[in-house]
Amino acid sequence: MSQPALTVTTPGQAADRGRRLLEIAGAAAIAATYIFLVLTQPADIANGPASFSALVALGGFLLGAVLLIAAVLPVLPTSTLVLIPVALVLNVVLGQLMGSTGLPFYIDAIGTVLIAVLAGPAAGAATGALSSIVWSFFNPTVLPFAAGAALIGFLAGMAARAGLFRRFYFAPVAGFITGILAGVVSAPIAAFVFGGTSGLGTGAIVSAFRAMGDTLLAAITKQALISDPMDKAIVFTIAALLAYALPRRTTFQFPFVRRFRVLAGKAPSAPDA
Amino acid sequence: MTNDAVTARLHPLTALTAAACTAVITTAAASWPLSIAVALAAAVLAVRSGAARQVLAAAAVILVPLWLSLLVLHGLFFPEGHTVLAQWGPARVTAEGLGFALEVGTRTTACVLVLLLFSFTVSVPDLLAALAARNIPPQFGFVVASTLTLLPAVARRLDRIRQAQETRGMVVRGGLLARLGALRLQMVPLVLALMDDASSRAQALEARGFASPGPRSSYRDVADPPLQRRLRVAALVLTAAAVTARIVASWPAGGTA
């Protein structure tokens, strides 16, 4: 079972450094875009839609997401790579299943978080970004949120590495913090590209903040701070419970799970059997 | 994903470039008459290519909630607006707010229609073959193609799991806890089965040298006439010009109002 991970061709030192640089460049593009957008946000949107900010947000965030994918995807072991389509499908299907329970959350990242827990932050970030790209075949409005989705996968992987998924009660805490960061990063996209949120419920919350005189970006950021942490806390909890439900034979085949002792418990006595 | 004479003659990358460039230029131009024209053109092309029903259905699911949300949000609450048309308590209908909703709404409508027209008319295998021929990592093509074929299969599988659990007494009804319990009964078997499938797929791919580096040969050859290549370059240059013009026109002058 652990064979595929071992047969990955180890790239040379230079190629390795190149990928590391690509990863850093991708993260830097996302961070720089966010800072630029907040600093230069149009003071008076009555002069027309923020076309300039929309272009900067689209360009910067998509560039960051593409750089992250280009850095991570070619070096993922096959055992992780085949899980990415599964994760994307789970994002969609489990999101729809959760919708059938009538809970007011959009729960669309369960697969991404599950991959991040099993295969680490890099795989999680790539899965998040790819999920947005593939899903945009059916709904182009998710494409601009690729950077936020990558951030969710990355932070979930970091939380797993720090051992926050060993106990089920730490997972929602990690999800809550991830939701705060991801919500804040995604707010400029909602504000400048779409001029608001796509749901009526979230739209009502934004309206309330607008009625108090907030700028559009501030109102959407506050709305994201209300909805996203709860949403991600639920997603992280579900992903943790799914990871616990998987047999140890499956979870311990991932080097990331073995190396950082992501899930509590010991490895099966003969992992190569 | 329908295919007709027009889209079959169009190289997938030409279609992708055209769709993306149209979306970017519409965003850069920021004028609602142009956005409406682009949206109408996309709708007409969708009808002519025979994908109108899919494109318009998918677009309606996305755009109806967005328009409602925009109209409520900016139509009623727009603190920057000056021309008040009507007022009920804290809610004020302003001309500026309605104008903003119109601008952003038409822009998003145009972009969504153009991109959906592309994704519902392109032949996915042709697109992936064209991408693979241009040094895009083969892993990307695998993930996209695998997801698009997996989606319907998983929907069928979920249906089978639901039926199996229902014969064992699962009832999707009642309070929140009962619903969550039913959810667990469907989710866990689905995830377990998919993970198991994936690990056997990994071994099969590994045995066929999927992870090994080096060039790949493709069985699918997509014709790329020189005229379309020039067309793509022209579209990209035009888009770059539109974006540059927009950035130069509205570069935020730090502090100087």
Question: Rounded to a whole number, what is the distance in angstroms from the first to the last CA of chain B?
Answer: 50
User: For position A42, what pLDDT does the model report?
Assistant: 67
- In angstroms, what separates the C-alpha of A178 from chain B's closest C-alpha? 23
Looking at per-residue pLDDT, the higher value among A51 and B142 belongs to B142
- Name the residue among B180, B194, B250 with its Cβ closest to that of A86: B194
Q: What is the pLDDT of residues B108-129, one digit of tens each?
A: 999 999 999 999 998 888 888 8
B155 vs A40, A93, A143: nearest CB: A93
Least confident of A99-103, A248-252, B68-72, B137-141: A99-103
For A139, the token pair is 């709904």
In 3D space, the residue among A184, A183, A220 whose CA is nearest the CA of residue A204 turns out to be A220
The encoded tokens of residue A117 equal 């827990």
Q: What domains sit in chain A, N to C, each tagged with a CATH number?
A: 16-260 (1.10.1760.20)
- The 3-class secondary structure across A16-77, one letter per residue, is HHHHHHHHHHHHHHHHHHHHHHHHCCCCCHHHCCCHHHHHHHHHHHHHHHHHHHHHHHHHCC
Whether A250 and B196 lie within 8 Å, measured CB to CB? yes
State residue A121's pLDDT score: 92
Q: Do B58 and A139 touch (CB under 8 A)?
A: yes
Name every residue whose Cβ is closer than 8 Å to that of residue B238 and which is 6 or more positions away in sequence. Answer: B21, B25
CA distance A242 to chain B (A): 7
| Chain A residues close to B68, C-beta within 8 Å | 200, 203
Looking at chain A, which residue has its C-alpha nearest residue B158?
A93
Per-residue model confidence as pLDDT tens digits over B184-210: 888 889 998 998 888 888 889 888 888
Q: How far is CA A91 from CA A85, A115, A134, A137, A185, in A?
A: 10, 11, 11, 15, 20
Q: Which of B46, B48, B50 is nearest to B60 (CA)?
A: B46
Distance from A226 to chain B by nearest Cα, in Å? 17
Q: How many CB atoms lie within 10 A of CB B228?
A: 18
| Average confidence score pLDDT of chain B | 84
Report which secondary-structure segment, H or E, holds A96. helix A83-99
DSSP chain B: ----HHHHHS-HHHHHHHHHHHHHHHHHH--HHHHHHHHHHHHHHHHHHT-HHHHHHHHHHHHHHHHHHHHHHHHH--TT---EEEEETTEEEEHHHHHHHHHHHHHHHHHHHHHHHHHHHS-HHHHHHHHHTTT--HHHHHHHHHHHHHHHHHHHHHHHHHHHHHHTT----SSHHHHHHHHHHHHHHHHHHHHHHHHHHHHHHHHTTTT--S----S------HHHHHHHHHHHHHHHHHHHHHHHHT---SS--
Q: What length does chain B have?
A: 257
Q: What distance in Å separates residue B110's CA from the closest CA in chain A?
A: 11
**pLDDT of amino acid A124:** 94
At residue A175 the predicted structure's pLDDT band, cuts being 50, 70 and 90, is very high
Sign of the alpha-carbon dihedral angle for B201, A69, A245, A231: negative
The percentage of chain A sitting over the pLDDT mark of 70, rounded to a whole number, equals 84
CA distance A235 to chain B (A): 13
Q: Judge contact between B162 and A97, C-beta under 8 A.
A: no
pLDDT of residue B3: 46
Per-residue pLDDT averaged across A115-144, rounded? 90
Residues B232, B15: Cα–Cα separation, whole Å: 9
Nearest Cα residue to A74 out of A16, A137, A149, A157: A16
HSE of A134, CA atoms in CB hemisphere, 13 A: 29
Distance from CA of B208 to the nearest CA of A (A): 11
- Which residue did the predictor score with more confidence, B47 or A107? B47
Range in A133-147, A198-212, B150-164 with the lowest mean pLDDT:
A198-212
Residue A224 distance to chain B (closest CA, Å): 15
Structure tokens at A258: 């073995």
Q: Nearest-CA residue of chain A relative to B103? A: A49
Instruction: Report the chain A residue with the minimal C-alpha distance to residue B181.
Output: A101
| CA closest to B148 among chain A residues | A134
* Interchain pair B195, A200: CB under 8 A: no
Provide mean pLDDT across the span A236-257: 88
A chain contacts of residue B141, beta-carbon cutoff 8 Å: none
Q: Which residues contact A213 (CB under 8 A, 6 or more apart)?
A: B79
Find residue B88's DSSP bridge partners: B91
pLDDT digits (tens, 9 = 90+) for A19-49: 889 889 998 999 999 888 888 776 656 555 5
Closest Cα to residue A124, out of A3, A267, A10, A243? A243
Q: Which residues contact A208 (CB under 8 A, 6 or more apart)?
A: none
Closest Cβ opposite residue B246 in set A52, A90, A210: A52
| Helix/strand/coil percent split, chain A, to 5 | 75, 0, 25
Nearest chain A residue to B254, by CA: A40
Question: How does DSSP classify residue A168?
Answer: T
Query: What's the rounded Cα separation, in Å, for the pair B162 and B156?
Result: 10
Closest residue in B to A98 (Cα) is: B183
Distance separating alpha carbons of residues A5 and A113, to the nearest angstrom: 21
Rounded to whole angstroms, the Cα distance separating B111 from B35 reads: 8
Nearest CA in chain B to A48: B100
Is A52's CB within 8 Å of B250's CB? yes
Residues of chain A with Cβ-Cβ distance to B215 below 8 Å are none
| CA dist list (Å): A155 to B144, B181, B199, B205, B238 | 24, 28, 25, 29, 38
Q: Which residues pair with B84 in a beta bridge?
A: B94
B96 to chain A: which residues are within 8 Å by CB? Answer: 46
Q: Which of A207, A209, A215 to mutate to test the interface with B (most CBs of B within 10 A)?
A: A207
Considering only the beta carbons, identify the residue of A85, A136, A211 that sits closest to B143.
A85
Check CB contact under 8 Å for B111 and A140. yes
Interface with chain B: mutation pick from A8, A82, A112, highest number of B CBs within 10 Å: A82
Helix/strand/coil for A217: helix
Instruction: Average the pLDDT over each of A36-50, B35-49, B93-107, B119-133 and give the range with the smallest value.
Output: A36-50
CA dihedral (A14, A16, A22, A28) positive or negative: negative
Domain boundaries, chain B: 3-246
CB atoms closer than 10 angstroms to residue A12: 9
With CA atoms as reference, the chain A residue closest to B214 would be A9
Using an 8 Å CB-CB cutoff, list chain B residues near A59.
Answer: 243
What distance in Å separates residue B94's CA from the closest CA in chain A?
Answer: 10
Cβ distance A196 to B70 less than 8 Å, yes or no, reads yes
